[in-house]
Structure 1
Amino acid sequence: MDESKNIIHETRIPTLAENTGLFKKTKMRAQRTNQRYALLFLGPSILLLAVFIFYPMLKTIYLSLFLTNGSGHNTVFAGLGNYAALLSSPGYLASLMSTLIYVVGVWALTLALGLILANAASVKVRASSFFRTIFSSTMGVSISVSAIFWLFIFNPSIGILNQIAAFLHLPLLNWATDPNLAMISVIISTVWMNLGFAFLVLFSAFQSLPLSLYEETAIEGVGPVYRFFHVTIPLISPTLFFVSIITFIEAFKSFGLIDLMTAGGPNNATNLLVYHIYQNAFLNGNYSQASAESVILTIIIALLTFLQFRYLERKVSY
């Protein structure tokens, strides 16, 4: 009888409180294990972001508040003096205006041409795959090769454009050396470089459109122009919005083509903000002013991107 009591005592069922405590301990142990694995996998990425993104960003803000010598060391605390000097500088304001003209031109033309080419390539005709390859081929061209290609086209003596103009008895133009035409030349070159990405992403959106909807609109007698603006555009609006944001930000960051084609000239006509920062930092050694320009550029991009999300996203149909 005593042995049966001992067996019952040893095999008793745990109470509710004991089960709850055991569950909590097991859950906490699992959470700590998950946290260790998360740090193990995210640690290298966080370290790289800290070294190459967060630290340079904070260092740039810090330098923008000081005057620096030629080696980049702080000399005098200036507060917001660097920002005030920039915003009252005619050269910087001219660079800001040139950048806005450039960004709007690149953004509008890239989206418009990307839509036109994607719509044309989505029509299944003979050799359509060949044209799709041609339209997206600019993605594989480096900036240096693109600059050489367009400098040859814009060359005033042997350039293709001036040869065509001479054949048609039109006036010859100095595309890359005329202050009134240099910005147009750079915009054309940049649009050509960005068009491959925009076309490829928009074309994938066109391929996902339901054919049944187009058949119904064709039966109802809807014209192609009306169908494009009132059926196609709303259906691909999420992809179009994505391409719009990426193109907008990349246009603000343009540097390579400017450096290789015009070097900010002629007469600072193409001296965009990023190239202006490069000149102040690495050519003039004015790191404090270049840091202030970088902060202002970041604020401008963030503000205009926010406005796009605030107003343009309302027209996106998900």
Structure 2
Amino acid sequence: MMVSQTKAKKSVWKRSLDARTALLYLLPSILLFSVFVFYPMFRTIYLSFFLTDQNGNAALFVGLENYTYLLESVAFRNSIKATFLFVLYTVPTGIIIALILALLANEKLKGIGFFRTIYSSTMGISVAASSVIWLFLFHPSIGMFNKLLNIFNLPQVEWLLDPTWALLSVSLSTIWLNTGFSFLILLGGLQNIDEHLYESARIDGASYWYRLRRITIPMLSPTLFFIVTISLINAFQTFGQIDILTKGGPSQSTNLIVYSIYKEAFVNYQFGTASAQAVFLFICILIVTILQFKLGERKVHYQ
């Protein structure tokens, strides 16, 4: 009996020591997350219930009035619409293009390394630099796109000045910018698929499209799941392209929620309503991510 109690005490003491050791290793990460994630998040939620002064300090408690104001605001509803359209334009198209390029670059051809480098090169370009490049491409008089339209005797387009085209134009630049990262991740996933599966399928006479549908896509599904999740989150958080290319215009057609938060906080100095918008954006991303895990993960095939 005494031996059993001694062993139990030693086991409890060992678990306690392991827990303290683990906590010690996690302490730097906990401190960093507390300073840069948890405190700003709780501070944002706190400020969303207040009217603030120009320094961002809580001045008057208004409860849920900031949220009520947002739901009644036509401008905020337009921001929600523009944000979801932007996500719809960029995420599926970007992933499909990256997948096609990854399938091409995965072929064992002479000189394919050059194309892999070209396809992934957008990873090395900052949002600011790429947006400036696209700003020149979209220019109504000297831009390359309108010059191409001129060659085919087509009417010129005010890419960034026409509300009909502005969101599509920003989406195009975003797809180009994000393709490199998605391509590289998908290419890595393709190269991790066991080659023996393809050899067996070829011996059985399976066509390329059958192999793609029955082997490549199922085996690549964990990578695709990761890319879809990351792309959705990044699309909801897009800011740089909007700020440089359109500044939310024209006619608020590209005023995504993140840019609306920026203008409300740092242009209008309404930190309370800006915080309420940030909380709303957080809830949207949380819901989309949960749905992605609940619905999308069922179709993921883990080896």
TM-score range, shorter chain: over 0.9
Stretch of structure 1 that moved more, 187-196 or 168-177: 168-177
Tell me whether 1:38 sits opposite 2:35 in the alignment. no
Amino acid at match of 1:176: L
Tell me whether 1:119 sits opposite 2:81 in the alignment. no
1:89-128 matched pairs, under 5 angstroms? 89-128=73-112
1:292-307 matched pairs, under 5 angstroms? 292-307=276-291
Tell me whether 1:251 sits opposite 2:235 in the alignment. yes
Share of identical aligned residues, percent? Answer: 45
Tell me whether 1:194 sits opposite 2:159 in the alignment. no
Q: CA deviation at 1:258?
A: 0.9
Amino acid at match of 2:159: W
Q: Distance in 1 between matches of 2:175 and 2:107?
A: 23
Q: CA deviation at 1:188?
A: 0.8
Tell me whether 1:136 sits opposite 2:120 in the alignment. yes
Runs (5+) with no aligned partner, structure 2: none
Cα distance per residue 1:208-249 (max 9 Å; x no partner) = 222232233334443323332332111111110110000000
Q: Distance in 2 between matches of 1:216 and 1:55?
A: 55
Amino acid at match of 1:67: L
Tell me whether 1:280 sits opposite 2:264 in the alignment. yes
Match of 2:275 among 291, 310, 313: 291
Question: What is the CA RMSD across the aligned residues, in angstroms?
Answer: 1.5
Match of 2:249 among 252, 260, 265: 265
Structure-2 residue corresponding to 1:242: 226
Structure-2 residue corresponding to 1:217: 201
SS state at 1:75 partner: strand
Task: Point out the structure with max Rg over C-alpha.
Answer: 1
Structure-2 residue corresponding to 1:229: 213
Amino acid at match of 1:109: T
Q: Distance in 1 between matches of 2:238 and 2:61?
A: 31
Q: Distance in 2 between matches of 1:155 and 1:234?
A: 43
Amino acid at match of 2:229: I
Amino acid at match of 1:288: G
Q: CA deviation at 1:23?
A: 3.0
Q: Distance in 2 between matches of 1:312 and 1:28?
A: 41
Q: CA deviation at 1:74?
A: 2.2
Stretch of structure 1 that moved more, 271-280 or 150-159: 150-159
Rate the CA distance shift 1:219–1:97 in 2: closer, same or farther, 3 A. Answer: same
Aligned residue-pair number: 302
Runs (5+) with no aligned partner, structure 1: 1-15
SS state at 1:123 partner: coil
Match of 1:172 among 156, 160, 164: 156
Cα distance per residue 1:147-180 (max 9 Å; x no partner) = 1111111111111111122122221112122111
Amino acid at match of 1:156: P
Amino acid at match of 2:64: L
Cα distance per residue 1:249-268 (max 9 Å; x no partner) = 00000111111111111111
Q: CA deviation at 1:21?
A: 4.1
Match of 1:152 among 133, 136, 155: 136
Stretch of structure 1 that moved more, 63-72 or 236-245: 63-72
Q: Distance in 1 between matches of 2:142 and 2:118?
A: 25
Rate the CA distance shift 1:58–1:219 in 2: closer, same or farther, 3 A. Answer: same
Q: CA deviation at 1:50?
A: 1.2
Cα distance per residue 1:13-67 (max 9 Å; x no partner) = xxx51x3344344334433433332232211211121121111111111111122
Stretch of structure 1 that moved more, 44-53 or 244-253: 44-53
Q: Distance in 2 between matches of 1:44 and 1:109?
A: 39
Match of 1:88 among 64, 72, 82: 72
Rate the CA distance shift 1:58–1:229 in 2: closer, same or farther, 3 A. Answer: same
Q: Distance in 2 between matches of 1:210 and 1:74?
A: 58
Q: Distance in 2 between matches of 1:274 and 1:152?
A: 24
TM-score, scaled to structure 1? 0.90
Rate the CA distance shift 1:40–1:267 in 2: closer, same or farther, 3 A. Answer: same
